[in-house]
Amino acid sequence: MTSQPTPTKTGDPGSGLQAGLKNRHLSMIAIGGVIGAGLFVGSSTGIATAGPGILLSYLLVGTLVVLVMRMLGEMSAANPTSGSFSAHADRALGRWAGFSIGWLYWFFWVVVLAVEATAGAKILEGWIPAVPQWGWALIVMVVLTATNLVSVGSYGEFEFWFAGIKVVAIGAFIVIGGLAIFGVLPGVDADKAGLGNLTDHGGFLPHGPGAILTGVLLVVFSFMGSEIATLAAGESENPQRAVTKSTNSIIWRIGVFYLGSILVVVTLLPWNDPSIADKGSYVAALGSLGIPHADQVMNFIVLTSVLSCLNSGLYTASRMAFSLGERGDAPKPFARVNSRGVPMTAILASVVFGFVAVFFNYLSPDKVFLFLVNSSGAVALFVWLAICFSQLRMRKIIQRESPEKLVVKMWLYPYLTWATAALIVFVLGYMLTDTKGESSGRTTVLLSLLVAAFVLAIAFVRQRFGSDQAAVQDATGHGTVPEPRDEVQAEVGA
């Protein structure tokens, strides 16, 4: 039996990705990864839908993310790699799984590049209207592409400061808002701010318990990005330590930045205050504190979040493409790096598709671009589901081969893993009941399933005919035979 080629080791100069990320970079990437622009922009819709009960929606999704990240942390601490969950799925479930989830994840992030570039361009055009929106989108994409092409350290440095601004902004918002709620801050309308806002305006659940699940559909995608730290850990000085640290800190990060900040918003203002819908939840909350130019302050913070998401999205898409190329599931040039350890081809290929998506956003926003956004919308849930099933199998493989690497363990294995998978399936099923609008939950799930089915079909065709071709190549001395997954299946059935 000929085994698969061993991936190049991180940090080995000239032969692969290099350890260019410092511990402070990884710490801030882990913290900033859970703070997306969706938190600032989309939370007002969730509040209008569920009232103060949106806190339960965030708590439910936050718990789900904590559990999924615990599983991913277990696998990634034992085997840090730039492919993260795609590489784990490849080994635990089969090459079809690693191929499919890797390409779906890549597709998700290149669409995000277009969405975030457009969002950032709108803000910048508002400040400097002399440059058209498409011009700003182009400038933003070019600058961040250049940043990623220089070195992984330059990506880490940019993300360190982008994430730092987000963290400081939300931290200050929570502290100042807390002082206002308890009457310590002067100049705040005491009739509006207070804990009474949680129950005084129709109750904690003004639209009934069902609104909690509807709120889940609105907030679940704002959590995408928490897994970036496990991909980036492969290029850090101490991958295992970085993964362990980011996994163990996920609970307080979600608790503070999501639950803490949303609690401040719905306590400072009644959930049905018109300013929340008109200006956005955070802008309205800042305005109630008497902070001058609150909308521009928040626009700056949102722009920072957008640039952070763009920066990380390009990095994440390129590293997934690199990993796919390294495993033979993408063109070989994707796995090549330059003398600085940068996968230039993977970065450029990812950004080209990002530019194409930006182009479609201006050419056909209501058709082609809407299809791209909807068809990638449920990928986050697909990824989380793949992580669950991979962890169920990888735990046994790790215990058999190198039990000392189980430095992070999933709680109550395997019961909590199965419960998490069931909850994800339930959320997907519930999304099918949402039929309102062109971007309804049903549309998102069905189009995402359509794209997933297409990728799966390619994966099975490649596995069927690619294995035969590999065997022929090996017989002629010009290739290697992919490692069979029989031993993994036997381990699972043990």
118-137 residue pLDDT tens: 888 888 998 999 998 889 98
Residue 459 pLDDT exceeds 70: yes
236 bridge partner residues: 21
Helix (H/G/I), strand (E/B), else coil: 21: strand
Q: Which tens digits make up the pLDDT trace of 240-249?
A: 888 888 888 8
The predicted pLDDT at position 467 comes to 52
Cα–chain-centroid distance for residue 276?
A: 26
Residue 472 pLDDT exceeds 50: no
The predicted pLDDT at position 266 comes to 94
Helix (H/G/I), strand (E/B), else coil: 236: strand
Mean pLDDT of 391-404: 94
Per mean pLDDT, which range of 3-7, 54-58, 140-144, 275-279 is the poorest? 3-7
Q: Comparing C-alpha atoms, which of 189, 175, 10, 185 is closest to residue 82?
A: 10
Q: Comparing C-alpha atoms, which of 429, 426, 450, 453 is closest to residue 441?
A: 429
* pTM, two decimal places: 0.86
SS3 content of the chain, % helix, strand, coil (to 5): 75, 0, 25
Q: What are 125's two structure tokens?
A: 């055009």
Are 261 and 54 spatial neighbours (Cβ–Cβ below 8 Å)?
Answer: no
The predicted pLDDT at position 190 comes to 61
The predicted pLDDT at position 320 comes to 93
Residue 7 pLDDT exceeds 80: no
d(CA 284, CA 25): 32
Residue 474 pLDDT exceeds 70: no
- Per-chain mean pLDDT for the chain: 84
The predicted pLDDT at position 236 comes to 79
d(CA 101, CA 85): 8
Q: How many CA atoms lie within 13 A of 8 on its CB side?
A: 21
The predicted pLDDT at position 191 comes to 67
The predicted pLDDT at position 463 comes to 82
d(CA 238, CA 19): 8
Q: Comparing C-alpha atoms, which of 290, 279, 294, 285 is closest to residue 264?
A: 285
Per mean pLDDT, which range of 9-13, 64-68, 286-290, 388-392 is the poorest? 9-13
The model's confidence at residue 14, banded by pLDDT at 50, 70 and 90, is: very low
Q: What are 465's two structure tokens?
A: 């005919």
Are 138 and 321 spatial neighbours (Cβ–Cβ below 8 Å)?
Answer: no
The predicted pLDDT at position 189 comes to 66
Per mean pLDDT, which range of 214-218, 368-372, 482-486 is the poorest? 482-486
Q: Which percentage of the chain shows pLDDT scores above 90?
A: 41
Q: Which tens digits make up the pLDDT trace of 350-394?
A: 999 888 888 888 888 888 888 888 888 889 899 999 999 999 999
Mean pLDDT of 421-447: 89
Topology annotation, domain 23-489: Amino acid/polyamine transporter I (1.20.1740)
Mean pLDDT of 287-313: 86
The predicted pLDDT at position 128 comes to 93
d(CA 137, CA 119): 9
Residue 48 pLDDT exceeds 70: yes
